[in-house]
Amino acid sequence: MSTFLWVIFPYICLAVFVVGHWWRYRYDKFGWTTRSSQLYESRMLRWGSPLFHFGLLGVVGGHVIGLVIPQSWTEAVGMSETLYHWVAVIGGMISGLMVLAGLVILIYRRRTVGPVFSATTPMDKTMYFFLALVIVLGMWNTIASSIFGLGGSEGHAFNYRESVSLWFRQIFYGQPDPGLMANAPLGFQLHALVAFFLFALWPFTRLVHVFSAPLGYVTRPYIVYRSKDEREGTAVGTRAPKRGWERVQ
């Protein structure tokens, strides 16, 4: 079971994540969208969306530092474990509360605004559930471990950078050690499992918009609207039009 949970299951989820995005883009390109509901309601969205998205940037940044960057690297630039601990706690709590508050507003909006609720799909509800669960588990780990010292030795905070972070990086090396996660506190185990399951759901939800960027807007020609021509008394000029500005007959 340990091998399945901490070796096989993560690779299954990552495979679904990669292949699922390829399939979604290949066969459902028009469905690759946020399915925005701003036209239905904007007052609550104006508060919930920025809180959620800007908070999420802080959460992702914290996970990159905590999971991807080895502890020896931060120590090499003069950041002690104590300093890292407090930066992670304060920054993580602020970002986590922003994400949680934004998510609560967005879910409340989606449930109480009729047209938005009607546009909500079963996959949206599943996505919101697991997204909320992974956020709550992450905040619980920060509070329980870093503030109350649960899961650590002799009352000290559990140092996930010596176990969970190593296991996470080993996944991409192709040699994950299941023992590193098997000995981690239950909260960290649940957080990792739910997060990987969310990765597996990702390609089939509106979360695909994370990988969208309007790069084509930089090079595409302007859209020009004209309602009259020379016969109706509006001169169109004699200069040769530039590429993309040709008249539509």
Q: Is 85 annotated as a binding residue?
A: no
- Mean pLDDT within 100-104: 95
Expressed as residue numbers, the domain containing 154 is 1-219
Measured CA angle at 120 (ends 114, 123), to 5 deg: 160
Residues 20 and 201: their CA atoms lie apart, in Å, by: 9
Kindly tell me if the per-residue pLDDT of 5 is higher than 60: yes
Establish if 157 belongs to a structural domain. yes
Establish if 236 belongs to a structural domain. no
**Domain harbouring 129, CATH code:** 1.20.950.20
Establish if 240 belongs to a structural domain. no
Establish if 235 belongs to a structural domain. no
Establish if 232 belongs to a structural domain. no
Q: How many domains does the chain have?
A: 1
Establish if 244 belongs to a structural domain. no
Average the pLDDT over each of 10-14, 118-122, 165-169, 225-229 and give the range with the smallest value. Answer: 225-229
> Which comes out higher in pLDDT, residue 246 or 199?
199
Tokens of 135: 């956020």
Q: Is 21 annotated as a binding residue?
A: no
What value does the mean pLDDT of the chain take? 87
Q: Are 111 and 37 in contact (CB under 8 A)?
A: no
- Mean pLDDT within 84-100: 89
Q: Which one-letter DSSP state was computed for residue 244?
A: T
The answer for residues whose C-beta is within 8 angstroms of residue 57's C-beta and 6 or more apart is: 95
Residues 143 and 159: their CA atoms lie apart, in Å, by: 13
Establish if 246 belongs to a structural domain. no
Kindly tell me if the per-residue pLDDT of 10 is higher than 90: yes
Establish if 204 belongs to a structural domain. yes
Alpha helix segments (H runs only) across 119-182: 122-141, 164-173, 178-182
Tokens of 1: 């079971």
Residues 13 and 2: their CA atoms lie apart, in Å, by: 16
Q: Are 164 and 188 in contact (CB under 8 A)?
A: yes
Q: Is 63 annotated as a binding residue?
A: yes
